[in-house]
């Protein structure tokens, strides 16, 4: 994908659940931070499920009409680009349910997930933005939507049980250098008293982040262990893993 600037583009809690391997029921009552949240509906939907979620994005100082205009522009641009490059995407097989088991003859039964078409993906992600805007416009704007930018977060050490960051790190490695990635990961780890999950672990070409080993080694030296975990998700080809950071207690 050609991403000259960071796009204001977001996904649903359902999609987050898949690419972060989340158990939303198990997160009830827990403090969860979504960094680089954009117009994702994760935080709005999580609140409805009793999760104490907070979202961070540099654009959360903007009024709802400005964000709605930005969504219109960025979504149109993204879907045009995606439709022009279908080979970069993996689709759910014909006739398979959005969630369930693929029991095709001659194949071991396996979970089916994902989108059947660009139209389905577009409808889902536009629904995410609509839910986000409604929540942002309502009582959530000054409470659970916080304007901030990596690599600095305005939260106390260990303030969250789980910290998530999707589609910023690694995807924009041409814009943010190695030092930025290291400082950003260390900052995500600082505000978590549990895990940090980062997805995907590849660039806009679907290839693994080339500096991953060095990043993990330098985080290890700072006291944060890490692992790359496979997830049951892959829409953009190459996005079937997440990076899990485990900050160690002092």
Q: Which residues bind ligand SAM (CB under 6 A)?
A: 6-11, 35-38, 40, 57-59, 149-150, 166-168
Q: Between 167 and 181, whose beta carbon lies closer to ligand SAM?
A: 167
Q: Between 39 and 247, whose beta carbon lies closer to ligand SAM?
A: 39
b/e code 17-40 from CB counts within 10 Å (16+ = b) = bbbbbbebeebeeebbbbbbbbbb
Report the phi/psi class of residue 21: left, alpha or beta, with left for phi > 0 and alpha for psi in -120 to 50: left
- For the CB of residue 43, give the shortest distance to ligand SAM in the complex, in Å: 10
The residue count for the chain:
250
Instruction: State which residue has the least CB distance to ligand SAM.
Output: 38
- For the CB of residue 56, give the shortest distance to ligand SAM in the complex, in Å: 6
Residues 92 and 114: their CA atoms lie apart, in Å, by 6
- The encoded tokens of residue 172 equal 């924009």
Q: Between 31 and 170, whose beta carbon lies closer to ligand SAM?
A: 170
Q: Between 50 and 154, whose beta carbon lies closer to ligand SAM?
A: 154
Beta strands in 12-140 (DSSP E): 31-35, 52-57, 100-102, 110-112
Residues 170 and 242: their CA atoms lie apart, in Å, by 11
- For the CB of residue 109, give the shortest distance to ligand SAM in the complex, in Å: 29
- For the CB of residue 101, give the shortest distance to ligand SAM in the complex, in Å: 27
Q: Between 66 and 101, whose beta carbon lies closer to ligand SAM?
A: 66
- For the CB of residue 59, give the shortest distance to ligand SAM in the complex, in Å: 5
């Amino acid at each position: 994908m050609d991403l000259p600037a960071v796009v204001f583009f977001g996904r649903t809690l359902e999609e987050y659940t898949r690419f972060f391997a989340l158990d939303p029921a198990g997160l009830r009552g827990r403090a969860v931070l979504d960094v680089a949240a954009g117009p994702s509906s994760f935080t709005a939907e999580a609140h409805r499920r009793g999760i104490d979620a907070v979202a961070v994005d540099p654009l959360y100082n903007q009024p709802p009409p400005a964000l709605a205009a930005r969504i219109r522009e960025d979504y149109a641009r993204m879907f045009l680009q995606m439709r022009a490059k279908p080979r970069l995407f993996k689709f759910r097989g014909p006739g398979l349910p959005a969630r369930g088991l693929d029991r095709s003859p001659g194949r071991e039964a396996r979970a089916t997930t994902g989108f059947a078409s660009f139209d389905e993906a577009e409808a889902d992600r536009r629904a995410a933005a609509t839910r986000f805007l409604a929540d942002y416009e309502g009582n959530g704007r000054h409470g659970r939507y916080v304007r901030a930018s990596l690599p600095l977060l305005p939260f106390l050490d260990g303030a969250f049980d789980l910290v998530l960051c999707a589609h910023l790190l690694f995807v924009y490695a041409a814009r943010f250098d190695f030092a930025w990635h290291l400082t950003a990961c260390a900052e995500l780890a600082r505000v978590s008293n549990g895990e940090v999950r980062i997805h995907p672990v590849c660039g806009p070409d679907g290839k693994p982040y080339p500096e991953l080993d060095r990043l993990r080694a330098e985080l290890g030296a700072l006291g944060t262990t890490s692992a790359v975990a496979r997830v049951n998700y892959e829409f953009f080809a190459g996005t079937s893993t997440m990076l899990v950071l485990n900050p160690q207690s002092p």
